[in-house]
Chains A and B, each alone.
Chain A
Amino acid sequence: MPEATTIRLRDDTPCMEPAVTLEAFAEQTNAVAVRIEPGGDARELLAHLDRLARVDIAFPAFTDGRGYSAARILREAGFAGELRAVGDVLVDQLAYMRRCGFDAFAPDAPIDMADAEAAFARFPEVYQSAADPRTPIWALRHGDGDDR
């Protein structure tokens, strides 16, 4: 994929390795990037997270929301590498994706960076605890507003 269209919210050096499939990863133990299709089980990676630099989660159609759960599962397990949403990724889904732990986006159709920034800034607060560091409204209401 052309790196130029990728929106990346990380400061570290991007891992440029091609991603292997979940099936291939099971046999190819030296791979550092994996790609999960919507039907793939992100939990298969949990034992190997420390040697993964990047996980691509595929969105063949933006209406298929399985990738949101996959992303959260990886973050909940402590994955700190790059989590990239790949495919039919539109500006209107970016904010939810970020909340689920994605920190890179490789959309099929380029997204204007200013539009992306506006989308990330749209909602002043959040109602739920998710895979991002934002403090939910219920915590703000009960004096738990310090930086989390």
Chain B
Amino acid sequence: MYAYDRYDQAMVDARVAEFRDQCERRLAGKLTEDQFKPLRLMNGLYLQLHAYMLRVAIPYGTLNGGQMRMLATIAEKYDRGYGHFTTRQNIQYNWIKLEDAADILADLASVEMHAIQTSGNCIRNISSDHFAGAAADEVADPRPYAELLRQWSSFHPEFSYLPRKFKICVIASEQDRAAMRLHDIGIRIVGRDGELGAQFYVGGGMGRTPMIAPLIRDFVPLDQLVTYSEAALRVYNRYGRRDNKYKARIKILVHELGAEEYTRQVEEEFAHLLEQGVEPPLAELERIKGFFELPSPLRHSREGGNPAEGAVREESGPPDQVRGDGFESWARHNTHAHRNPDYVSAIVSLKPVGGIPGDATADQMRVLADLAEQYSFDELRVMHTQNVVLPHVAKDDLPALWQALSDAGMGTPNADLMGDIIACPGLDYCSLANARSIPIAQRISERFAANGKEAALGELKLKISGCINACGHHHAGHIGILGVDRKGTENYQLLLGGSEAEDTSLAKITGPGFDERGIVDAVETAADVYLREREDGERFLDTYRRIGMAPFKEALYA
């Protein structure tokens, strides 16, 4: 994975010093809260419902054992012994003191981490496929491109006071495991006639007005990636709406101009910027790529195959063992095909039955750090589904890994099943929320553990947001839940039919909302309709798409 050189380290260290100075000026009254707020946000520091919250960047979700161990240390030293992994592949701490914020950033900088641009109206942490570099179906590892863009976007002088936040995602496979088209810019690395290049999808997003990003350029050569991004951003910075924060995201600009006109303007700006020499040389991309080469044992499978970059293999299943202790179930659900058929990527569930989705204690983080070092070439990934991946695990090591995870409460075999619920922090932590999300997730997970339907339901992506901002991705859930405020009480709308995958679709509201108990029943009712109506091999989403909303409405509101 990427390692800082002296330049990267100096930049992060300078940022810590800058923020230390800004915090001191705030505490001394030399900055008003209005002046300080954008500065603290650009360092990931929010003022939340109960306290300051710090969001730490985990660039494209990748980190090593030492970094995970530092996250555990911070949880204990400055917070209350836990952290919350987010749908942006980051981690948040909920109980931070302003007085400690700069010290935390300094601790992070000591392990090449930061909280730069994890909030604010700037280019945010860049997300990617959580199986990047390990997945069997990629044309390339997308992370070098994400790292190139991370550096370009860090402290960008022109794009730090954008109309609104800006999220970029980079993937490199037909399968979309990162909700790429629901980003402000979604980039897919593709191969054309033996050359790699980038597809640009611009203007997607969730929030109050969900939109699926249209393709605006089918192939940007790799030596124009930064220039094209700069053009796309400049058009947005100049013409994105600033009169209404709810209409300020680039999706609204692209929608109002039309994709064709937006594209025309970007191409015009792009042609101009090509003359300006803003693009790093390809040698820089090659330098970055060097950090992401597969560790050498991973480059050769036992059969002697050499899974070169670009080789797409068949789904390689987990080892065939009969144990009867839950291992098989975990190995079936919580592993993903690796480029090397002797290995898999293992999904560590942070969704125990009745637990808080995405929360991990400091002790659990240390277990993850140890396991990464022992079994996964010192590498971890944070998933947008609020789980963790050990990307390179030898199949022979799976039983031992599963045992260790189970002992630490992280061995639940529920990846992509009903219990694998995405939930934003909701009204338990977030000052923007209208309703609590976590208790709903807990009740649903308990219900389906008790009724035994989880296995029968198969892949079913349930996503819960506590307000219209959609941090819980409810628009993209096979089943989505949106918490709303109905005259001061919590109410929950049910949505069906969303997908964040390559078959991207936006979920539709079923009808009137439910109270806390009613929404759990409603989810079970919808699940039962699927179990009754499904045909061979259909997932919940497939059945919904085939039979439509009507049978569900009938069952829900009979």
Contact = CB atoms under 8 A, between A and B. Distances in A.
A136 to B, nearest CB: 7
Contacts of A100: 157-158
Interface in B18-32: 18, 22
B11 A122 contact: no
Given A125-B10, A128-B157, A136 B280 contact: yes
Given A65-B161, A65-B237, A142 B283 contact: yes
Interface in A62-98: 62-66, 68-70, 72, 76, 90, 92-93, 95-97
Given A64-B161, A69-B238, A128 B152 contact: yes
Contacts of A129: 276-278
B284 interface: yes
B161 A138 contact: no
A69 B18 contact: no
Nearest to A93: B161
A138 B155 contact: no
Chain B contact residues, majority secondary structure? helix
Nearest to A66: B238
Interface in A43-74: 62-66, 68-70, 72
Interface size bracket, A side: 35 or more
Contacts, number: 98
Contacts of A65: 121, 158-162, 237
A73 B155 CA distance: 19
Contact of B158 (A72, A95, A127, A142): A72
A68 B159 CA distance: 8
A123 B14 contact: yes
Contact of B160 (A96, A123, A125, A139): A96
Nearest to B275: A76
A124 interface: yes
B161 A123 contact: no
Interface string A126-140: 111110000011111
B158 A130 contact: yes
Nearest to B18: A122
B124 to A, nearest CB: 15
A123 B278 contact: no
A99 B154 CA distance: 14
B39 interface: yes
Nearest to B39: A92
B557 interface: no
Given A63-B121, A66-B238, A100-B157, A138 B39 contact: no
Interface in A93-114: 93, 95-97, 99-100
For the complex of A and B, 5 pairs with smallest distance between CB atoms: A65-B161, A99-B157, A138-B280, A96-B157, A138-B284
Given A123-B14, A130-B158, 19 more contacts: A38-B242, A62-B38, A62-B161, A63-B161, A65-B121, A65-B158, A65-B162, A68-B158, A70-B238, A90-B35, A95-B157, A96-B160, A127-B152, A128-B157, A129-B277, A130-B157, A137-B8, A137-B151, A142-B283
Interface of A: 38, 62-66, 68-70, 72, 76, 90, 92-93, 95-97, 99-100, 122-130, 136-142
6 contacts: A63-B121, A68-B237, A96-B160, A123-B14, A130-B157, A141-B284
